[in-house]
Chain A
Amino acid sequence: MDQQLTVALRDDGSVDPGLDPGLDGETLRFLFRKMVFLRALDEKALNLQRAGRIGFYIGAAGQEASEIGSGFALKPGDWVFPSYRDQGVALLHGYPLSSLIAQLFGNRLDATKGRQMPNHWCDRSRRIVSVSSPVATQLPQAVGAAYAAKMRGEKDAFIAYFGDGGSSTGEFHVAMNFAGVFRTPNVFFCSNNQYAISVPVSRQTATGSIAAKAAAYGFRGIRVDGNDVLAVYRVTLDALELARGGGGPTLIEAVTYRMGAHSTSDDPTRYRSAEEVEAWRKKDPVARFASHLRSLGLLDDAFEETIAEEAREEVRRAVAECESAPPVPPESMVEDVYAEMPWHLSEQREWLRQPGGR
């Protein structure tokens, strides 16, 4: 089974008028800046990991259009249930760069006290929910949170991100089924980047289309070109508005490609051919959007270089600010397990406070 791919940005650089979100020049440039920024962040973080300054990183290179296009469609009141590759969405939803960088270092500036490995951030004030390493566990949680809003008559939407691998899990099917039954204001955003670490999407599903699965749960599925920032923005916006208006959930499959490794612990040359990577490189979402902006007269070489340099500088500054913070204090280890610390953790805290207890 296949499903038609929604594409706004045509090969000739023009935009399908039926899908054109009608953004003005400044907004288009803003989206481009964010895509360039995300790539610069990736490059810096990967270098930090290679230099041993952080332990781990999960890159989003190749998926900038999905990240920025969908993240830009969100309203401030919307909730985000991210996966560990959605730093672009988090940044667009207001998550401060300094917080993101501090979380990579897990030091005293990290609002989550160095509890989780990099790429597992959260921010209650911005409705960005804590990331889990097991995939798709956040999907039924997003349904519950959406149910709560619906019950109170609130008009927020709840977007949950996951990958093609996540679509194989029990939690994916459970969440789709619950959302369909309860008609909750959810948007399920699958970044189909073709691989779950080393295993191709053909081993995740026999349907050929993840979006097509929505039909089995009684709601809309949209298959969108995930390297087309305008199309991703448009379909996400439509899905969020549908959700907010009581129209029920949508499953979006953004067809894209993870250009780099799954994580800094992964070597994709073991399972992908150079030809395949090269073929996708030609569909680079940043370059594709750049050529569109050039055709509109919104971008030239000098401006593009300025944007890239500004992005690198902003990331560099944030790293410099965050890296030198002291480590988390040892006794913080036993905090936040419960609202109030029980006796057994108080005992363990006392041990951590002893000079010899470290």
Chain B
Amino acid sequence: MATMTFVQAIHDALAVEMERDPRVVLLGEDIGKNGGVFRATEGLWARFGPARVIDTPLAEAGIVGMAIGMALNGLRPVAEIQFADFIYPAFDQIVSELAKFRYRSAGQFPAPVVVRTPSGGGIKGGHYHSQSPEAYFIHTAGLKVAMPSTPADGKGMLAAAMRDPDPVIFLEPKALYRTVKGDVPEGDFVVPLGKARSVRSGEDVSLITYGATVHVAEEAAAIAAEEGIGVDVIDLRTLWPLDIDAVVQSVELTGRAVVLHEAPRTCGFGAELAALIQEKAFLHLKAPVQRVTGFDTPFPYALEKLYIPDARRVLDAVRAAMNF
């Protein structure tokens, strides 16, 4: 075990997998000599050479399009999009091409590409450096969408994504890059995609979340415990395909659910979670599923602390569920 920041764990996964599998190549803007704007690829250019750590021209559609072609021809590309907010120029390549290649070719052309991108707010980045685009990709058949919340998961899930036969949109909560540290196993280490993590057990309310708001959920659950409310906190880790069993089992136990994310509310992933909970655990529910989310606005610079759900808002929802 080593203690690492979140971004060090991401770096470690890339280094270990590049060492393990010569098919792995990285491509993106500023990832080479500069080591990435968040330093996730620092030193890899010198270690593995410019043919495998590729500074591309500045064009997201080209990065993802090129990564698709690399995957079709036997490589394991990891494309870095500098900020999730810049992923939209590559949107067509992701949702119409990358996601569809296996299906439209009936399995002849799988495209195992990982698209890594720093997501979410909390760094005073304004709305071009703070968006949470997961719902677009969850809505797209053929993509897997993952968002770790701890350094160990960051490493293990990224390694799993790089070995996965399907395309994975790997969202990294950039607010955690340097604010969260934790124990991370050294060397070869994988956290399987599709498995949720129990962060904390409780019997009164299920609090279902992922990414940076896992830490908000933990804070809220600790305060709720002081009020005598047991909160069962679930970190989904992989958003899609979802670990539905973990969600349903928890809600069957508690009878109450709060879903929590930073992305905007309307048609956000929380809406899907709420629908699934009422489809699969309706008779266990003692209260309506509560949603705690960002607002239905562009991401605001000056008001980001208000925009991102905090423990107070989560606690309000937990109490509402308890008092229904």
Contacts and interface: CB of A to CB of B under 8 A. Distances in A.
Interface of A: 79, 111-113, 115-116, 120, 122-124, 129-130, 132, 134, 137, 139-149, 151-152, 170-171, 174-175, 177-178, 181, 335-339, 342-344
A144 B57 contact: no
B74 interface: yes
20 contacts: A124-B105, A130-B104, A137-B93, A140-B61, A140-B69, A142-B69, A144-B65, A147-B66, A148-B69, A170-B89, A171-B61, A171-B93, A174-B57, A175-B62, A178-B57, A336-B103, A337-B102, A337-B103, A339-B166, A342-B194
A144 B106 contact: no
Contact of A151 (B64, B71, B75, B92): B75
Of all A-B residue pairs in the complex, the 5 with the closest CB atoms, nearest first, are: A144-B69, A140-B65, A342-B241, A144-B66, A145-B69
A116 B61 CA distance: 23
B51 to A, nearest CB: 6
Nearest to B56: A178
Interface in B175-206: 194
Contact of A124 (B52, B104, B108, B166): B108
Contacts of B164: 339
A140 B65 CA distance: 5
A137 B99 CA distance: 13
B241 A141 contact: no
A335 B105 CA distance: 11
Contacts of A142: 69
Task: Please indicate which of the listed interface residues B77, B141, B165, B241 has the most CB atoms of chain A within 10 Å of its own CB.
Answer: B241
Interface residues of B, number: 46
Contacts of A337: 102-103, 141-142
Given A141-B72, A339-B102, A174 B59 contact: yes
A74 to B, nearest CB: 16
Contacts of B241: 338, 342-344
B93 A140 contact: yes
Contacts, number: 139
Contacts of A113: 106
Interface string B105-121: 11111100000000000
B66 A130 contact: no
Contacts of A145: 69-70, 72-73
A174 B67 CA distance: 13
Nearest to B64: A140
Contacts of A342: 194, 241
Given A175-B62, A177-B59, A144 B73 contact: yes
A2 B107 CA distance: 44
Contacts of B67: 144
